[in-house]
Amino acid sequence: MRALAILTCMLLSPGALANPGSTPTAIAEAASSRWRFAIALGYGLRSNPLIQSDDIPIIVDLDIAWFGDRFFFDNGDVGLTLSDNRMFTLDFVTRVNSERVFFGRTDTQFVSFAADGSTLATPVLLEVPDRDFAVEAGIELLTDGDWGELQLTAFRDVSATHGGYELFVDYAYRWRHDRWVIKPSLGVSYHSRSLNDYYWGVTADEAAESAGALPQYRLQAGINAHARLAAQYIVSKHWSFAAALEYERMNDDAAQSPIVAQRSVRGYFAGMSYRF
């Protein structure tokens, strides 16, 4: 809460706000559209690490964003630019933690074995515990140069859902050869104990409800690692072929959770993209 109070003071302080009219970003933006709207049609999948779950198909990928001098909307994220200069851009951002999506694609099944491998006296109906979307707010630092692009973020739950926070760093480098654009990136994210425990833990109540199929499981903080490879072939000013591969390795505690069946989350997508 104290961090939020400090952030609020920063936002309300006129001196803390950037003066976009004097920045290179604002000058460049004045000449271009503030809107970004694109649609990609193709096929992709994101694996679901949960037990008794279905992978998440991706057929349509929408990109809707608006970038003003100070405020911006970027596919559900709402931001306020605090500072923008030659070295870096600092934003205050609110977002929805989308890990809840995994929990929306689970099945209910009868199981005869407990998570520890022991046989249950009678089969029990096992349902993966439900989780909620969390609204998170935080700070995002963006910087770039000839060496690549760096994104650092710190987000905290402001919806009293998981009560935790996440620190995230991602480095990306873009190559272009004629019409081909290749962008690999990698990074790590630190998940606080509360965040990790809320999504991947099993509470005592949930363990009791599962009639022994799920043991109670509590998590500590952990670090996830991720890598990504995006490729694009530009066909025309509006059309391009786009493909992406993504891999995220979950932290040890999350990977060993009784509700987790796969240590990693893998994703891919390939399709045609139209940018308006």
Partner 1 sequence: MLRILILLGGLLLCCTEARAQSADVPRLNVTPLLCIVDKRAPTCDITFLVQWQSDTVGYYCLFNDFSEAPVRCWTERDSGELNDPREVSETFSYWITDEDTAKRLVAVAIDVLRLDSGDRRRQRRNRHVWDLL
- Percent helix, strand, coil in the chain (nearest 5)? 15, 55, 30
Closer to partner 1 by Cβ: residue 24 or 123:
24
Closer to partner 1 by Cβ: residue 209 or 241:
241
**Is residue 148 within 8 Å of residue 235, measured between CB atoms?**
no
Closer to partner 1 by Cβ: residue 9 or 11:
11
Exposure string for 122-143, b = 16+ CB within 10 A, e = fewer: eebebbbbebeebebbbbbbee
Binding residues for partner 1 restricted to 115-154, rule: CB under 8 A: 140, 142-144, 146, 149, 151
List 20's β-bridge partners, or say none.
none
| Token pair in block for residue 259 | 């509700």
Q: Which of 7, 18, 46, 254 binds partner 1 (CB under 8 A)?
A: 46
| CB atoms inside a 10 Å sphere around CB 155 | 23
Closer to partner 1 by Cβ: residue 49 or 212:
49
First to last CA, the chain: 41
The nearest distance, CB 62 to partner 1, in angstroms, is: 8
CA distance 206 to 129: 7
Q: Which of 3, 4, 19, 24 binds partner 1 (CB under 8 A)?
A: 24
The nearest distance, CB 92 to partner 1, in angstroms, is: 12
Interaction of residue 161 with partner 1, rule CB under 8 A? no
Write down how long the chain is.
276
Closer to partner 1 by Cβ: residue 18 or 219:
18
Q: Which of 18, 51, 53, 102 binds partner 1 (CB under 8 A)?
A: 102
Interaction of residue 77 with partner 1, rule CB under 8 A? yes
**Contact characters 195-224, partner 1, x per CB under 8 A:** ------------------------------
Q: Which of 7, 18, 50, 67 binds partner 1 (CB under 8 A)?
A: 67
CA distance 165 to 159: 12
HEC secondary structure over 140-205:
EEEEEECCEEEEEEEEEECCCCCCCEEEEEEEECCEEECCEEEEEEEEEEEECHHHHHHHHCECHH
- CA dist 180 → 27, 28, 142, 245, 267 (Å): 28, 24, 24, 16, 21
| CB atoms inside a 10 Å sphere around CB 75 | 11
Q: Which stretch binds partner 1 (CB under 8 A): 62-70, 115-123, 209-217, 252-260?
A: 62-70
Q: Using CB under 8 A as the criterion, which residues of the chain lie in contact with partner 1 when the complex forms?
A: 24-25, 27-29, 32, 36, 40, 44, 46, 56, 58, 61, 63, 65, 67, 72, 74-77, 79, 81, 84, 88-89, 91, 96, 98-99, 101-102, 140, 142-144, 146, 149, 151, 168, 170, 172, 174, 176, 178-179, 181, 185, 230, 234, 236-237, 242, 244, 246, 267-269, 273
